[in-house]
Structure 1
């Protein structure tokens, strides 16, 4: 396909539009920012000014926490956790269900702030509120299933009783990213609370206000004071302080930083869960519905401006349908409504920062300089917003190009043609990442069979990522350098617990009765082992 002139789509507002004034649209005034930033534990006297990626306007001065503040946060959290651990599951669940309703009731407010602070499209911001509400409800409704003591088989039937308890770790440290500032600030901490832990969290400095709005809702729901404490500051100080004090760490971010987090946790012999980078593949098989696959691929690549851990950056399309598919994919991409602001009609919003824009530009420019072709997009659009970059489709990307194997984390996808499914699977598994994959086929059984050969923690058949991510009972996380551990499902709450076995022995116990020699006792044990095998007992 020859290079086409990109169509940016209709403009919804712009950086000089009065509607982009945060004070006018969301009333981001002193009262609001003081109310939210006052939730940060900070005695340092330092503050960092944050800006909206929509138009570069200042939003708030974010107080910075000292190491002493981190220490105090953990002291408070430990006091709160001791009482919380004795609180019944039913009471914890009741508060979670209150939070569910509060989040839905205040969804418009969440959307307003999330858009201004992250630059994403409003429809993407709403999904954050929706996901947090689902998370709260899921763990409230399934708490007993996941956390109640479990009876296991004892070595001596009727005489040995085994109970397995799940007890809280203590205080969980959560370091969350900017790309989904509301859901990522809350969704990992809610199961930690449900399991009886306290939380000390460090949301990303670029989207601190949205995270703090979530903390306000926890208070509104009635969660105890100091059960969730927020600190702010650079990772070298505050992040390290959390790792040095937490009983468990949950981190979402880059693979490079995740490795440092893992090393710090290993040094203390504490557990951690890490959701890290990805170079996620999508496979469009020869029997796929071209129209459905093109629509799904557009969401897979360009939702949240490609700033989504599970978004797609590599697409492998069967040779038999490649040209038809590419025509439809390019057309759908060029029809996207681009812009920044609160309009529900916007399909794709802005990148978060100048650094993110620079990475995207460098990847595309390197690819083009080495021979890749731009089928759509490929341009910075300062007329839409200071960090806006068009959704971009590349063809002819080779292994010597930076974007071939390195995560772009922006609205850029590379297309590849394949002739055999074995070839496509091998290409999808190239590299060190393994977070999410998408497979498009009209044969669901075949798609699920191929999924088992893909080295990714989640695989979506005939969906971009929503089938797994929105299903709260489904675990979500990465293989290989995309991370370790899982959020959501039973795995998402069990990671915050220690497994404790309690054995209660009745009768004489596990030793020879009076007058029986050790040799005779060993023969009795051997005979009983053979008998239990014949009876089919484990």
Structure 2
């Protein structure tokens, strides 16, 4: 495997004292970091030091929020939302289009921050910037279509008018993960703002600066200052404070935590959307283009070091092409460039933390001890950075191995041979998850038919995950234990609204008139129903 040693960031002014002044060893000046951290609602006087996974450099002292701070954030957000909800769709769309332009103009700055905080390769950090810009443009352009009042069929044709309004929920709580710190911090909140809501966000502690930069860009684009509040702290403490005050909760993270979020939301009778874990399959059918499939499988398995909710961890390859495909897949994997830094040529960066590294090591060593074969990879690479682990392909993974059904969330994939497509579909549907799947075949019609039998919320054909993830008009989310609700498309914005039906009755009232008896009125209604049946009206 190629490798690249860590790059050094530019030196800032002033004496380097990283423990007390984290920005001293970081590629950004102290004032820049301080301005971002001031966006956290916090009066506790407490802070938590964050470090880059690339080389352990201190990044920032992040102020920590108390329950009182969360309460203040919601008070500010509610005041801002009261006026924001009365703004026009056109005004909101104009601001989102400015955000689109600002994000593209500041792409390099955003990407730098994402790389430093997450340790991912630059090309994967760019994906985040691009996705946020696309999300802003999509909801700006489709705002009227998704939010304008709709006419529905009334009870009495010509006499009953029904309007369906989309009313904002109020203040949305968004709890976002570290693995895609820019896009996950913003892409769920953008439609919430477009629908007339305010947001209180709690980004993951590992990647606060990237999320705070996103909040700054929202304000620069023209959103009211208090409309987007940011709080920080341990999820076990701050999370319940958010759920206890929000009108709707959007959570992305583990299935175990998602269950607790859903239970707490149920106690308050508020809605939530949850994107949770996955053990995502990819099916390489007998007629697949082997080179295209090998390239896609490499991205599916190792983008962002496998720390992607929709990345592949289980691969099923048809007998007829198995050996040729595996040869090409291994070769592509071994040709990947691993490294820490901002170079566009890096194919895979670091894991985020020691916890993630420990999980990956434990899964691989357990599989190896129980008879799985490591076709390539399988090694921790401290020479590149503290949390680097080689992209790893396993063969012979069996149900008694930890990695068989448990999500690894790292650069580890198992390759399995199948004899017929019915068997492949059954194996792909094994387990409790159902987030994303991929199918490689040159017969699009057959692949789409197979996709309907796969119990996953998104299925990509001849692509790893980008086709569904980047198609903003299509919903994205999980089935079974991979979550509930959807982001993107109409479902991604309607989740933040209440449906309100307004019926206007003209002329005849829905009751007997002019001394008519209830019995006669009932007969008239039955005659009307039969006439409507004959005209095929609903």
TM-score interval, smaller chain: over 0.9
Distance across 1 between alignment mates of 2:122 and 2:532: 62
Distance across 1 between alignment mates of 2:417 and 2:27: 50
Q: Is the 8 A contact 1:307 1:410 kept in 2?
A: yes
Corresponding residue of 2:419: 419
Distance across 2 between alignment mates of 1:317 and 1:94: 48
SS at match of 1:416: strand
After the TM superposition, list the runs of 4 or more consecutive aligned residues in structure 1 that deviate by more than 4 angstroms: 19-26
Q: Is the 8 A contact 1:26 1:113 kept in 2?
A: no
Corresponding residue of 2:340: 340
Corresponding residue of 1:109: 109
| 1:321-351 C-alpha deviation (Å, 9 max, x unpaired) | 1000000000000000110100000000000
Distance across 1 between alignment mates of 2:421 and 2:444: 15
* Count of residue correspondences: 528
Deviates further, 481-490 or 230-239: 230-239
Distance across 2 between alignment mates of 1:154 and 1:424: 48
| 1:283-326 C-alpha deviation (Å, 9 max, x unpaired) | 00000011000000000000000000000000000011100000
Corresponding residue of 2:152: 152
SS at match of 1:282: strand
Corresponding residue of 1:298: 298
Q: Is the 8 A contact 2:120 2:305 kept in 1?
A: yes
Corresponding residue of 1:12: 4
Corresponding residue of 2:15: none
Q: Is the 8 A contact 2:117 2:206 kept in 1?
A: yes
Q: Is the 8 A contact 2:378 2:391 kept in 1?
A: yes
2:272 is equivalent to residue 282 of structure 1: no
Corresponding residue of 2:81: 81
Q: Is the 8 A contact 2:10 2:26 kept in 1?
A: no
2:100 is equivalent to residue 100 of structure 1: yes
2:162 is equivalent to residue 162 of structure 1: yes
Q: Is the 8 A contact 2:99 2:136 kept in 1?
A: yes
Corresponding residue of 1:407: 407
Distance across 1 between alignment mates of 2:393 and 2:272: 36
Q: Is the 8 A contact 1:26 1:112 kept in 2?
A: no
Distance across 1 between alignment mates of 2:442 and 2:281: 18
Corresponding residue of 1:232: 232
Distance across 2 between alignment mates of 1:475 and 1:423: 28
Q: Is the 8 A contact 1:20 1:54 kept in 2?
A: no
Corresponding residue of 1:252: 252
Distance across 1 between alignment mates of 2:358 and 2:125: 24
Q: Is the 8 A contact 1:12 1:343 kept in 2?
A: no
Corresponding residue of 2:455: 455
Corresponding residue of 1:3: none
List alignment gaps of at least 5 residues for structure 1. Answer: 1-7
| 1:120-171 C-alpha deviation (Å, 9 max, x unpaired) | 0000111100000000000000000000000011111111100000000000
How far 1:13 moved relative to its partner?
2.2
Q: Is the 8 A contact 1:20 1:55 kept in 2?
A: no
SS at match of 2:363: helix
How far 1:232 moved relative to its partner?
0.2
Q: Relative to 1, partners in 2 of residues 1:363 and 1:21: Cα closer, same or farther, differing over 3 Å? A: farther
Q: Is the 8 A contact 2:25 2:58 kept in 1?
A: no
Q: How does 1:273-422 map to 2 (within 5 A)?
A: 273-422=273-422
| 1:84-141 C-alpha deviation (Å, 9 max, x unpaired) | 0000000000000000000000000001110000000000111100000000000000
| 1:446-487 C-alpha deviation (Å, 9 max, x unpaired) | 000000000000000000000000010010000000000000
SS at match of 2:225: coil
SS at match of 1:528: helix
Distance across 2 between alignment mates of 1:79 and 1:498: 19
List alignment gaps of at least 5 residues for structure 2. Answer: 13-22
Distance across 2 between alignment mates of 1:496 and 1:182: 20
| 1:515-534 C-alpha deviation (Å, 9 max, x unpaired) | 21100000000011001100
How far 1:26 moved relative to its partner?
6.3
Q: Is the 8 A contact 1:380 1:387 kept in 2?
A: yes
Q: Is the 8 A contact 2:312 2:413 kept in 1?
A: yes
| 1:162-186 C-alpha deviation (Å, 9 max, x unpaired) | 0000000000000000000000000
Q: Is the 8 A contact 1:277 1:481 kept in 2?
A: yes
Structure 1 length-normalised TM: 0.97
SS at match of 2:295: helix
How far 1:27 moved relative to its partner?
2.9
Q: Is the 8 A contact 2:350 2:385 kept in 1?
A: yes
Q: Relative to 1, partners in 2 of residues 1:145 and 1:248: Cα closer, same or farther, differing over 3 Å? A: same
How far 1:360 moved relative to its partner?
0.2
SS at match of 1:389: coil
Q: Is the 8 A contact 1:13 1:20 kept in 2?
A: no
How far 1:29 moved relative to its partner?
2.8
| 1:490-529 C-alpha deviation (Å, 9 max, x unpaired) | 0000000000000001113111111211000000000110
SS at match of 1:18: coil
Corresponding residue of 1:5: none
Corresponding residue of 1:222: 222
Distance across 2 between alignment mates of 1:25 and 1:64: 22
Corresponding residue of 2:491: 491
2:420 is equivalent to residue 428 of structure 1: no
Structure 2 length-normalised TM: 0.97
| 1:344-384 C-alpha deviation (Å, 9 max, x unpaired) | 00000000000000000000000000000000100000111
How far 1:24 moved relative to its partner?
8.9
Q: Is the 8 A contact 2:26 2:58 kept in 1?
A: no
How far 1:28 moved relative to its partner?
2.3
How far 1:18 moved relative to its partner?
3.3
CA RMSD of aligned residues (A): 1.1
